[in-house]
Copies of this chain bind each other. A is one copy, B any other.
Amino acid sequence: MRKDVHTDAIPVLCVACEARHKGVCGALEAEQLVALARTSHKQYAGSGTELLGDAQKIGSYANVLSGVVKLTKTLSDGRQQIVGLQFAPDFLGRPFREESDLNAEAATDVSLCAFPRAAVERMMQSSPELERRLYRQALDELDEARDWMVTLGRKTASEKIASFLLMIARNIDPAADADRQAAAFDLPLTRADIADFLGLTIETVSRQLTRLRADKIITIENNRHIVVPDLARLEARAGN
């Protein structure tokens, strides 16, 4: 069966896009990709930009193309907790809900591929495969959230920091995961963000990092760049 050349072409926007390979767009046929790409636009946001406010109407969804987005919740007296981090090529948004119950903020400079809400919802109706991918991502996020519940509820400060560094290493320097035993990466979060993620204070985060450095489990350059010469030793501190 011959395919029309026109519908077979992958949109320029998508050709090299990670979301098409490992993200939700991989669910779509060239034809559908064209339809969706027509309504989408690339979007750049500097570190600190608010992408979606709490109690704000949800106008669009997006794929994270690069950088890190943090999802936060804040109590009325200002205490804050990061409840999720999104890396490329995660899908950003919460289908089936009119307004957000959390904040999404660029933790680093980020680039996004944004879609109008209606376009995604229409596409979800017509493509069960897309919906399934979104479902799978939601389940993965749920697994992650539950892992962090253990960390938040039951681990000590130093175990929390070690767990956090491992998680970042796995996301930023994926090659390091299993085979190699060393890893190096830039922290995408400030000390304040790390504290908000782990339910600690800035001071405790700083002290624990200093301790890991003193114990020669990591080295720190310019406050942000971390080198882990032996991942196994870091894992031993994560207390799983």
Contact = CB atoms under 8 A, between A and B. Distances in A.
A73 B145 CA distance: 12
B239 A95 contact: no
A83 interface: yes
A211 interface: no
Q: Copy number in this complex?
A: 2
Contacts of A138: 135, 138-139, 142
Interface string A113-155: 0000000000000001001101110110111011111101111
A40 B95 CA distance: 31
A150 B71 CA distance: 12
A80 B149 CA distance: 11
Contact of A240 (B76, B83, B134): B76
Given A81-B153, A128-B131, A154-B79, A73 B146 contact: yes
Contacts of A84: 146
A94 interface: yes
Nearest to A102: B146
Given A154-B199, A199-B152, A139 B83 contact: no
B131 A134 contact: no
Interface string A68-106: 000101011101110110000000001111000110000
A231 interface: no
